[in-house]
Amino acid sequence: MPSKTKTLSKILKYIGIYKLYLIFSTLLAAASVGLTLYVPILIGDAVDLAVDKGLVDFEGLGVILLRIAVVVAVTALLQWLMNVCNNRLTYNVVRDVRRDAFAKIEILPLKYIDSHPTGEIVSRVIADVDQFADGLLMGFTQLFTGVVTILGTLGFMLSINVGISLVVILITPVSLFVAAFIAKMTFSMFKLQSETRGEQTSLIDEMVGSQKVVQAFGRQAQVQEEFDGINDRLEKCSLRAVFYSSITNPGTRFVNSLVYTGVGLTGAIAALRGGISVGQLSCFLSYANQYTKPFNEISGVVTELQNALACAARIFELIEEEPQIPEPENAVELAAPEGSVGLEHVNFSYEPNQRLIEDMNLSVTPGSRVAIVGPTGCGKTTVINLLMRFYDPVSGRITVDGNDVRDITRGSLRRSYGMVLQDTWLRAGTVRDNIAMAKIDASEEEIIAAAKASHAHSFIKRLPQGYDTVIGEDGGGLSQGQKQLLCITRVMLCLPPMLILDEATSSIDTRTELRIQRAFAKMMEGRTSFIIAHRLSTIMDADTILVMKDGHVIEQGRHDELLAKGGFYADLFNSQYNI
């Protein structure tokens, strides 16, 4: 977690872009405070015009009251303009922070996304930035005005009477000490509160998305217990943070009362001795009150800023995460790849101490059908992640048309593949939008033709609004088979030069699967295809079958050749058919 100083310097960099708002806000704060401090002088003059019975200068009072009304009106206008500048500055900065955070998420390596709960990342971008915005807005609104008020009040008091002003100056450090002590205590507590809130958001996000699984396995009580544990921890750390921040105001108010008392006593003695007039004494008391008031506001701002800094530190931690390896300046753009793929001495593991793929070599000619089979956890899906460059190999290299994938633009590489996985990728929107994701400029005729080719057209037409039917997040409202048909339709629409099919028909009924297999066979003609299948009957006609075990390719060949060897593949095949 970055230190407060580093976090503050990063915030100032964002603020620096909008320094004109900052300058205007500071000038308006100074002007409004100056006018506010001028009012006690006018009131003091008014008091001196009415010091005894029958000795009241009503004409002079009328003039002074008119001036006070004008000053108050102008002050209100200046404060409104200052708030406009503060709001624009704050929410422009917040917009930029959120934009940079989201942009960083877009380029983070999948390793980071896979190792951090989704809810925790969402909490940083949404909840933490909101807390940061509240603290920042309060800081600009009250901190500048408070500081200027303190300095301006001291200046006015020194101009009236130096002795009484020294009383104020001598008691002031006590207030500063109290505020600094509490601020130091609250930062770590607000930081813990923010982290615990992110943990809670993560759990809620996970449980809402997996509610069916929770209920199917009767885990409601355990999940509730886990939530209660986090909730209790959040209550305790929030209570401590709020308690320490809440004692700031009473503490500074006590010190402020000492200031007011000191001014009252010394001022009264000075007035009795003729050192100042009664009007000047009333003016001094007003200044003493105005001088101490900003300390209450600033102390409140300081605790809010601790919360804001703690939240900002978490969001900056995300923004400064190491992005995925950037593309070289002369990266190759795959325009029309032939489809030759090679793996040369590839080694890869998700964790340094857990080996997965070791010294994998493979040469795939354009238009070949490569099937990958093996037990769960042998590295089949990992090979797909490497081909798509979701992960980079630890050593060795992967090539497409002779080019190392690290020298190819990610966009053109991934556009060259069409993927249909067991997990469906659908978003909230219309059926048409989900299909057209593969080809944004696709015509209605192309979309319908792709749906017919994937045998999805019939069920789409039965939906309430056909292709304009809105589906929920992750295809909510559709069966698993229907979701998978839409994903297949998406690939049918773009027809890339290379295909990746990972149990693409696992959720589809047998009759429809036979039709889609025929459509796939037609689609794979002339296209390099990688097929992961557990049902070996679906890959019997593959040009090459890779048999993987513990991250190694232990057998390689055609179906008949592998059966004839009587090895691991033959055992897998025979076990499926009870031979």
pLDDT digits 0-9 by tens, 466-480: 888 888 777 777 877
Answer whether residue 145 shows pLDDT above 70: yes
Please check whether residue 381 is in contact with residue 532, taking contact to mean a CB–CB distance below 8 angstroms: yes
| Identity of residue 177 | F
Average pLDDT over residues 32-37: 82
Q: What is the mean pLDDT of the chain?
A: 80
Tokens of 507: 């959720």
- Give the sheet arrangement for strand 395-400, strand by strand: 357-364, 341-348, 395-400, 403-404
Tokens of 194: 């923010």
pLDDT digits 0-9 by tens, 316-343: 888 888 888 888 888 888 888 888 888 8
Average pLDDT over residues 532-547: 78
Average pLDDT over residues 376-400: 85
pLDDT at 141: 65
pLDDT at 260: 73
pLDDT at 577: 63
pLDDT at 2: 55
β-strands 470-471, 417-420 pairing = unpaired
Average pLDDT over residues 274-281: 71
Give the C-alpha separation, 263 to 288, whole Å: 7
pLDDT at 480: 77
Q: Band of the pLDDT at 77, cuts 50, 70, 90?
A: very high
Phi, psi dihedral angles at 237 (to 5 degrees)? -70, -35
Average pLDDT over residues 33-38: 81
Average pLDDT over residues 453-474: 85
| Highest-confidence segment of 279-283, 386-390, 532-536, 540-544 | 386-390
User: CB under 8 Å to 573, separation ≥6 — which residues?
Assistant: 536, 562, 563, 579
Q: Band of the pLDDT at 297, cuts 50, 70, 90?
A: low
Residue 144 or residue 340, greater confidence: 340
β-strands 395-400, 403-404 pairing = antiparallel
Average pLDDT over residues 362-380: 84
pLDDT at 243: 79
pLDDT at 130: 83
pLDDT digits 0-9 by tens, 492-524: 888 888 888 887 666 667 776 777 777 777 777
Q: Band of the pLDDT at 74, cuts 50, 70, 90?
A: very high
State percent of the chain over pLDDT 70: 88
Give the C-alpha separation, 99 to 303, whole Å: 27
Q: pTM above the 0.85 mark?
A: no
Tokens of 247: 């004692």
Please check whether residue 424 is in contact with residue 479, taking contact to mean a CB–CB distance below 8 angstroms: no
* Domains of the chain, first to last: 4-188+239-319 (1.20.1560.10), 341-576 (3.40.50.300)
Give the C-alpha separation, 541 to 49, whole Å: 108
pLDDT at 257: 74
Answer whether residue 399 shows pLDDT above 60: yes
Beta strands in 389-509 (DSSP E): 395-400, 403-404, 417-420, 429-430, 470-471, 498-502
pLDDT at 506: 66
Residue 260 or residue 420, greater confidence: 420
Q: Band of the pLDDT at 551, cuts 50, 70, 90?
A: confident
Answer whether residue 14 shows pLDDT above 60: yes
Answer whether residue 146 shows pLDDT above 90: no
∠ CA 258-68-36, rounded to 5°: 45
Which of 152-161, 196-205, 222-231 has the weakest average pLDDT? 152-161
Tokens of 225: 């217990």
Residue 80 or residue 284, greater confidence: 80
Q: Band of the pLDDT at 140, cuts 50, 70, 90?
A: low
Residue 100 or residue 509, greater confidence: 100
pLDDT digits 0-9 by tens, 189-208: 777 887 888 788 878 877 77
pLDDT digits 0-9 by tens, 412-437: 888 888 888 777 788 888 888 888 88
Answer whether residue 370 shows pLDDT above 70: yes
